[in-house]
Structure formats: C-alpha cells, structure tokens
Chain A
C-alpha cells in the first residue's frame, strides 16, 4: 500500500476556488458566500472584516478580479462579490469588531508610513497586542486614499476596525534614516513616492528586505491600493513570524489554484439585479449568493455511487482505510473501514470523472487485498460469491474443443452468470456460433471477478492460470465474450488473449433479431464494464434499432455507465446501499431497458424493471412470464447447461446427479434466495443430522432441527421426514458467528 498517500496528492477537493485564488486577500469566498446563502449576514461580515481589515474601503475600491475568473460569467453573469460584501456590511447586526481580552506582548514595531498599507499592518499587529507606532510625515493618515474617498468617511472606515485596539500615531514625523529607530521590527510602507531608505527586497522571504527585521510593502513596491492593504496584513504575519523565530526567509503563502474549469458543474442562472439600483436587499443578496457555485471539485463525490452515498471524498477514504490497515486502537482490532472497502462496486466511474485520474476504486481493491492478508476482513462479505465461483470452476466447469473434431480458431466464453440466469441463451448463442464458425470451442468457467473483488489472490491466480492453460491447450484461439465484465477481467489479467464480442458477430453476419420492437421505446443500459468499449455499445444500439426499437438515451450511459450493484458483490456487505443503487439505476426513465450483462438484467428484473438481455432480443425469447431463478436454481441451471451442452453438441450423456429430493414451499424458496442460502447446503446439514443423530425434535410440529458450519457460516435447518424417505424443509437460516462446540463442527 505504498501509494496510500500518493493517491490523494493530486486531489483537487481542497484547492482554492478560482475567485479566492484571484482575490488579493485570499478571501475564502466559499465560506463567506455559504454564510450569506443561509442569511447569516453578521457572521459573513465578520469573516470579511477579519480577512480584509478595512471592509468599507476594500469593498469600495476592489477592482473585483474575482469576476474575471468566475465560471458563472458565461452562465448568467459573474457573482457580484462587491454587492454581496456590501450587503454583509449593511445587514450585519454591528460593524464594530469583537473585543478579545489578550495580554500585551512586549515587542515593539515601527510602521513607517500612515497610508492604508501601514495602517493595515498596524491593525493586524495591534489586534494581536503588539505595541505599534505609526510614523507619518504628513498631518493626516490614509495616504493617497484621501484623494479617492471622502475624508470623513475614510477616517470613519479607518477608525472602526481600531475600536478596541490602540497604537501610537506620530504625525508630521519624517523618518530620514531607519538607523534612528530602535525597534524589534519595522514595516516600511511609505507609498509610491516615499523613500525606500536604500532597501532592497529579499526574494527569499515575504516582504523581507536585505536588512534584518525590516519589511517593506504596499505602493512602495509597486502594488495598487487594494493589494497594498493586503500587503500590510500579510506583512504583519511575516513580522510576527520573524519576532517568534527570527527568520525572514519564509516566502509568502503561494496564491493561485490547481482547480480546473472541467472540475466544476455549472448551473446557469441569471444575475440578480439590485431593485434599488445600487445595493442588494437581504433577499436579493441571498438569491445572488445562492447562484454562487462555491467552486470545488466534487466530481467523484457527485457521480461515484459509493462516495455520494457515504458523503466521502478520496482523502477521507484513504484516511479511514489507513487507520483500518494500521489500527491505532488500544486493542489493535479497530477495523473502521472494512465495510466501506467492501462496498465499492469497482465500476471505475470515480476514475472516469476525476479530472486528475484518481482511481479510488483500484485503491480500495488493493486495500481490500491487504486487509484480507491480515485476516481481518470479514469473510462473510464475499464468501457466498467465492463459493459460487468455486462451484462454477469445478462442478459446473466445462472445456470442450469444437464439435466434430473441427480445428479450433475461436473459443466461446459465455461467463458463469449467463448460464446461471438462463441456460438457453448460452445454448442458442453457441448454436449460432457453430453455424457461422464451426471451429468454436467452449469454456464454461468464471472469469475470476469474485476472487478479484474479494481480494482472494490465491484463488484468483488459480482461476486465471487455469484459463490460460486451457486457452493454450486449444491452440490460442480468439475468445468470444458475451459478458463485458469477463472481457474487462481478461483485458486486465490475460491481455495476451485476442478477443471479440459475440454481439459484433450478429452484426457481421447480418442476423435479424427475433423480437420485433414495433417502434416501442427502450433505453440501452450499458453495463459498467463496457465503459471503455464504445464499439460494443454501438453494436448493441444497432441491433436494438434493427429489432425495431426506438432508443431513448439514458443520462448515465456509455463512458458514464453505472454499476447495477452486482459489481464488488456489495449486496452482502451493505444491503441498503445496494438497494439504493438499484432504485437509482432503474429510476432513470419508465421505458424498458436493453442490456448485455445478465447481472444487470437479473437485478433490474427482480426489482420490477422490464429489462431485456440483447440475447433475448436476438433469439426472440418471450420474457413476459420470466421468473428470476433463486440462488439455488442458478446453480442447478449451470449443471443443466453443462449436461445439455455435452448431450446436444458432443453426444456425451452425463449423470443427472444434481436433482434434489427436497420439498420446499415457494415462499421458503424465496426466503432462502433472499438470504443467499443454498438448498444444497441445507441438504448437507440434514445429511449430517441423519448420519450423526445430532438433531433436536419438536414433538408439537413433528420437525427436526439441526445445524452445521459450512465454510464460515453456520446453517440451521428445520425439516420433516416424509414417508418414503422424502424430506420436507420447513425452514432455514444462518449466521456468521461461530458456536464454540468442542467435538462438533
């Protein structure tokens, strides 16, 4: 996990807004406007006052560089910060600053020049209780502002921030040499035509000169009025730093921002015009503040299902993962983010939308593996699917060369879930392939995705290794995929294997779809694994159009495709999250979907959304009365598929050993399906009970109850023995905790 910190180095979440980066004072406009949006004028004013020192002067003179960089400038008009600042002043309860009871500091600072830059420096230092003396060669303070603002108003605006602060003012005092000053530090702000005392700026330090303890800023160094005020405030920080640590070589905080316009979601809105022609009313100010986008990069948080659901950004996620991988709790067992790690669907959307390509999903995958290696990841989150994968790669696995000893040039890899969902679709697809490409071999196996998502490296390596061996054994044919997820897994772990999608072959052979859409409207739901497969996305649309459907685009499609909730197998780790994701996906419109991932189809159908697999369309399958198979039926389907394929294409009869003699009500079947309990596991428990006699009898219901640990789950079954050896299962349930029973597992 060496890249733990590297992941978020480039993240733009905490970058300054464009306006703040352009502001001479670096006013936190996101914060300021946020307060105005809530109508909190008083607190907004305090933020403004504390940042700019002299609010009345700054809001009058600021040339508003923020307007030039505001993303709203082409979407209804740049936000009028000047009027918002004015409104914060107009509607604040008081403009008198807060008074803080702090002790005086013994250090003495001289400010040479009573212009606005010198006064800004004096204000900040006086607020921090340093003893400040301002030397002004004329008979009034304010410098060149006296020609720009009404003198009485200027005096009022200068005096107000000093309400609770004191400083010594020496008017008519011309400083001819700094040597005559015996002070701890000096700020020279003598104005554009004032003396510089032979000082030169030191480029290594903020406002530092080549003389120790002497700083310089404002118009004297060529800055305009507003920047001169900012200089005074910032120079005070540099002076305080010097007084504390004796160093003048710390540069000013860098301005600017790495934020980029692409990171911002612009919501256009016409600029609010003040009704009285000059200043905002309270309501107008709030409306204008609400137009502000408060620019920040939240692309991942907005689009990623995980980040939006949990309101977390990459930085927060990496922090939580870090304390989970390296527990800081006293007992060393804190595993704060285990559920979060197991809740990523690995759809890749976070990286897709990130302007700087941060791949939080890949990070979570790696952290998941690291957790598994420590043995602290709750296995229950993935065990069901890992066992299902083992079933696909063992009992239900099949590798067959092309029938009739035809030389092999292609290998059909339908994926394990298509056959689990509907064996006929695999059989029909293979029949089609053999018709046009008789040299097509067949492989029923899992692509390894469950082990990849579950962080089970040994199991994943074994699956990939067996696929590679089989592929090489068949003479390195081109793979034909039906499932985009399999294709994605192969591209990642078996990139040497050439491949194509089954759907392109339909198009190439000019096959007419079996279902006629009759002008009905559907939407193509792109599986998340097809994100970078524009060719297959277009093929599916072509086939759907050819079937006579009218296509309505989805908001989230093609490169923005979202996971149906199957990815990462998150449904066990966080069922409400999976349910939330499904509702969002199927709620995009009221039209049926056409997809090309059997998991998308099954999950949406189960939630009541009419969804066709493109193979349903191609083979003209009537899906109107289709009932989704249970988890147990998905296993028997795979066994039936293997049996039928061997019988139909290779004339091989297999024993039909998967028929079960169990009787269950439909209601119980649905319940077991919901809880992901396999009937075969319950049968294992019953066999154990009957063999060992370890079972409980309920004389009222005439049922037996037994339990057994299989893998890391304990299964309970209530059953009844029927005449003739049949078994009726009455109930089944399971838990993850282990019962410590010496001598019984």
Chain B
C-alpha cells in the first residue's frame, strides 16, 4: 500500500494502527498486517490492495 490514509474509527475515535488480520478463502487461511482500530479492531482494506494483492491471491486459490 502506498500513502495510507489517516483514518479514524468512528466509534472509538482512535487512529488506525497496523495489526495482524486473519483471512480465509476456499478452505485456506492466512494473515497479513493491516490498519485496524487499536481498540475495537475494525479493519480497513484499501481498494488498491483489493484490486491487486487480494485479487491475485483469490485467483491463485481458485486455480490451486
């Protein structure tokens, strides 16, 4: 991700920090560090990440 936005959790009024986030798809599980609310854990995934790395991994798992 380039130039991450400064986002604030609306409920906790806290700036997001990088935290480990778990994912699952088609029976596979994995994790990565993403901006999350340090209090409630609300995560943010940018469109750039969705369109590139996430789309790529999804396709790899579908063809595995």
Residues of A that sit less than 8 Å from B by CB: 333-336, 338-339, 376, 378, 380, 693-700, 704-705, 707, 716, 731, 733-741, 744
Known: A737-B23, A737-B58, A740-B24. 18 other contacts (CB 8 A): A336-B63, A338-B63, A376-B26, A380-B58, A694-B40, A696-B10, A696-B37, A698-B7, A698-B8, A699-B6, A700-B5, A707-B43, A734-B50, A737-B25, A739-B23, A739-B43, A740-B21, A740-B29
Cross-chain contact of A741 among B5, B8, B27, B43 (Cβ < 8 A):
B43
* Nearest chain A residue, comparing its CB with the CB of B34: A739
Tell me whether A696 and B16 are in contact (CB under 8 A): yes
A716: chain B residues within 8 A (beta carbon): 45, 47, 50
Tell me whether B45 and A735 are in contact (CB under 8 A): yes
Q: How many residues of B contact A (CB 8 A)?
A: 34
Tell me whether A694 and B42 are in contact (CB under 8 A): yes
List B1-57 residues whose CB lies under 8 Å from chain A.
5-11, 16, 21-29, 37, 40-45, 47, 50-51, 54-55, 57
A735: chain B residues within 8 A (beta carbon): 45, 50, 54-55, 58
Q: Quick one: given A707-B45, A733-B47, are A698 and B6 in contact (CB under 8 Å)?
A: yes
Tell me whether A737 and B57 are in contact (CB under 8 A): yes
Tell me whether B10 and A378 are in contact (CB under 8 A): no
11 contacts between A and B (CB under 8 A): A334-B64, A335-B26, A696-B37, A696-B42, A698-B7, A705-B44, A707-B45, A733-B51, A735-B55, A739-B21, A740-B29
Tell me whether A696 and B7 are in contact (CB under 8 A): yes
- Give Cα distance in the complex from A705 to B44, angstroms: 8
Tell me whether A741 and B41 are in contact (CB under 8 A): yes
Nearest CB on A from B30, distance (A): 9
B27: chain A residues within 8 A (beta carbon): 333, 376
A376: chain B residues within 8 A (beta carbon): 26-27
* Nearest chain A residue, comparing its CB with the CB of B41: A741
Cross-chain contact of A339 among B7, B54, B63 (Cβ < 8 A):
B63
Tell me whether B47 and A731 are in contact (CB under 8 A): yes
Cross-chain contact of A704 among B10, B26, B37, B58 (Cβ < 8 A):
B10
* Nearest chain B residue, comparing its CB with the CB of A335: B64
B47: chain A residues within 8 A (beta carbon): 716, 731, 733
Nearest CB on A from B11, distance (A): 5
Cross-chain contact of B7 among A334, A378, A705 (Cβ < 8 A):
A705
A699: chain B residues within 8 A (beta carbon): 6, 8
Tell me whether A738 and B11 are in contact (CB under 8 A): no
Nearest CB on A from B34, distance (A): 9
B8: chain A residues within 8 A (beta carbon): 696-699
- Give Cα distance in the complex from A744 to B9, angstroms: 15
Nearest CB on A from B23, distance (A): 5
